[in-house]
Amino acid sequence: MLDIKQIRENPQLVQERLNSRNGKYEIQPILQLDKQQRELEANRSQLQARSNEIGKIVGQKIKSGISPQDPEIQSLRDEGNAVKAQLSELEPREKELKAEIEQLILAIPNLPSDSTPVGKSEEENVEVRRWGDEYIPQNPNILPHWEIGEKLGIFNVERAVKVAQSRFINLIGAGAALERALIQFMLTMQTQAGYVEVSPPLLVNSASLTATGQLPKFAEESFRCADDDLWLIPTAEVPVTNLYRGEILAAEDLPIYHCAYTPCFRREAGSYGRDMRGLIRLHQFNKVELVKFVDPSSSFDELEKLVANAEAILQALKLPYRVINLCSGDLGFSSTKTYDLEVWLPSSGKYREISSCSNFVDFQARRADIRFKEAGKKGTQFVHTLNGSGLAVGRTMAAILENYQQPNGTIQIPEVLRPYLGNQDTLASTVLKN
């Protein structure tokens, strides 16, 4: 969440940054409630000081020998009781105001960074670089990944719909093996790059989703187990970030890098009619996630390193891609700056997102109360958190099925994956009897 002091002290700048986002966000209601709360707080402090003063005076007078029944003492006690009655009215109202302010701030997104392009939609995103043009296949008859997958018998959608509903898929035989190989390859690459692997819970509580910014705004995007106040994770970012919720870390332990493979679950609310076939937009999909906890002074440098870690997977697989700096209107709710990696899908002749790498600065850390302390110094600071996909496994598989598709309809296996697939160089088909 945003710092209330930042909103209070720089309202014009905060509102301008919010106006550059896609959506309407107003801080004036927050400022009005904040003014009321601070006035109440000042009044309460004055009353509390007077209450303490009265108690001290009464004690001194009784100690000096004045009778507790003396009219002067009785008058002071009456005043003290009146002050306490006022305090009993003010304190609950102050708590209510603080809760109202917090709820309003929770609905406000992060501010775009200075290096985030200003724009209203994805059309104004800025391409940073491309890689691998020489690997773009020249075969003009490449089938979409869902067609070649069904033809080879490594996908089955109808049985998945029978078991669950639309936007689920079965991977069979070589398809399941390819996905498993990709997961293992990605984890190997990222642990070698310094990330410590975590296998987190797939169900999280509401506090965890609130901490990373999915709640309250995006409740409709997640699957909920209402009886238990548990939610299926939309990404490993949620449980991994919340590992340190409410903790004070030692400065010397930063940066902390974690990677995690998990299934992810999203309703994809509002996206019906888009990418109904294949592996691009499913309710359940696998992903390897990268999460960082870093010193604020290094977070933007750490973002560049995070992007490089995600790019390394695509480069090792020799998949053509480009890097996009998202404009302010296309930023995710919690992000101050995001790079998207988009992989080339030949069947559609366009790049499609395969990784999103973001710096949240202290936005998530404030919500999750994750701080750090330097040895020998007073006070604590909020860490900066970052995360990115390293990579989305299904989308990587889709890119392989298209970019490595041969004219005879077979799929060549990327060289770096062959050790994970029994050193095969061609993806074997799987035929199931109906």
Q: Are 227 and 374 contained in the same domain? A: yes
Averaged pLDDT score across all residues of the chain = 95
- Count the domains in the chain: 2
Q: Are 276 and 170 contained in the same domain? A: yes
Q: Does residue 255 have a cis peptide bond before it, meaning omega lies within 30 degrees of 0?
A: yes
Reported confidence tier of residue 226, pLDDT bands at 50, 70, 90: confident
Q: Given 75, 106, 137, which residue is the final one in a domain?
A: 106
Please give the angle made by the CA atoms of 370, 372 and 374, to the nearest 5 degrees: 175
Non-local (6+) Cβ contacts of 385 within 8 A are 241, 291, 292, 293, 294, 360, 363, 364, 365, 370
pTM for this entry: 0.93
Q: Are 181 and 54 contained in the same domain? A: no
Q: Are 94 and 153 contained in the same domain? A: no
Reported confidence tier of residue 276, pLDDT bands at 50, 70, 90: confident
Query: b/e string for 263-280 if b means 16 or more Cβ within 10 A?
Result: ebbbbeeeeeeeeebbbb
The average pLDDT across 391-401 equals 98
The average pLDDT across 206-225 equals 94
Asked whether the predicted pLDDT for residue 185 surpasses 60, the reply is yes
- Distance, in Å, from the CA atom of 74 to the CA atom of 69, rounded to the nearest integer, reads 6
The average pLDDT across 116-124 equals 97
Q: Are 279 and 400 contained in the same domain? A: yes
- Distance, in Å, from the CA atom of 241 to the CA atom of 259, rounded to the nearest integer, reads 11
Q: Are 229 and 136 contained in the same domain? A: yes
Q: Are 14 and 148 contained in the same domain? A: no
Domain that holds residue 138: 122-421
pLDDT at 434: 40
Q: Are 295 and 417 contained in the same domain? A: yes
Q: What is the CATH number of the domain that holds 184?
A: 3.30.930.10
pLDDT at 272: 59
Q: Given 80, 106, 132, which residue is the final one in a domain?
A: 106
The average pLDDT across 252-276 equals 86
The average pLDDT across 363-381 equals 96
pLDDT at 411: 96
Asked whether the predicted pLDDT for residue 274 surpasses 80, the reply is no
pLDDT at 270: 60
Asked whether the predicted pLDDT for residue 369 surpasses 50, the reply is yes
Q: Give the residue numbers of the binding site.
A: 235-237, 266-268, 289, 353-356, 389
Please give the angle made by the CA atoms of 217, 219 and 222, to the nearest 5 degrees: 135
Q: Are 252 and 282 contained in the same domain? A: yes
Q: Are 264 and 238 contained in the same domain? A: yes
Beta-sheet strand order (sheet of 224-225): 203-205, 230-232, 224-225
Q: Give the residue numbers of the binding site for ATP.
A: 266-268, 353-356
The average pLDDT across 83-98 equals 93
Is 432 part of any domain? no
- Distance, in Å, from the CA atom of 278 to the CA atom of 264, rounded to the nearest integer, reads 16
Reported confidence tier of residue 433, pLDDT bands at 50, 70, 90: very low
Is 113 part of any domain? no
Q: What is the pLDDT of residues 309-349, one digit of tens each?
A: 999 999 999 999 999 999 999 999 999 999 999 999 999 99
Q: Which two tokens stand for residue 396?
A: 């990587």
Q: Are 300 and 391 contained in the same domain? A: yes
Q: Give the residue numbers of the binding site for L-serine.
A: 235-237, 289, 389
Is 56 part of any domain? yes
